[in-house]
A = this chain, B = another copy of it.
Amino acid sequence: MDVRNLSDLLDRFSEHWSPKKIAELNDYDIKLVKVQGDFVWHSHDDTDELFLVVDGELTIQLRDRDVVLGAGELFVVPRGVAHCPRADREAAALLIEPRGVVNTGQAGGALTAGPETLS
């Protein structure tokens, strides 16, 4: 049970689209992710997903609009809603969702990555 400094933790990895688990809250994982470029369209049928941008700008593409998030802005993608994150330049976000949720949802594919723990 330690203090987690988001900026220090972000200095410890560089890969994109590969969430790092930094804390647990009951049966939820708190994760940090660096992003750049396009992710894949996917949805999570059983859970909402929270994005809180901590650095840069992240666009969450929905089927009917783009949600643009800057640092200090959060957005919850409701369960079942198709979305595709995108960042033209590198950005970083905090993700919160139940343990075991797969990052690519039902879509799978090469960008599927389980959360490595950043202890």
Interface residues of A in 60-119 (CB under 8 A from B): 67-70, 72-76, 78-79, 94, 96-98
| Contact A47/B26 with A3-B67, A67-B3, A78-B1 known, Cβ cut-off 8 Å | yes
A25–B47 Cα distance when bound, in Å, is 8
* Inter-subunit contact A72/B54 (CB<8 Å): yes
Interface residue? A40 (CB, 8 A): no
Interface residue? A24 (CB, 8 A): yes
Interface residue? A28 (CB, 8 A): yes
* Inter-subunit contact B72/A25 (CB<8 Å): no
B contact residues around A70 at 8 Å (CB): 5
- Give the interface of A toward B (CB within 8 A): 1-7, 22-26, 28, 30, 47-50, 52, 54, 67-70, 72-76, 78-79, 94, 96-98
Give 8 A-B pairs besides A5-B72, A25-B49, A26-B47 with Cβ atoms closer than 8 angstroms: A1-B75, A2-B75, A3-B67, A5-B70, A23-B50, A23-B76, A25-B96, A30-B76
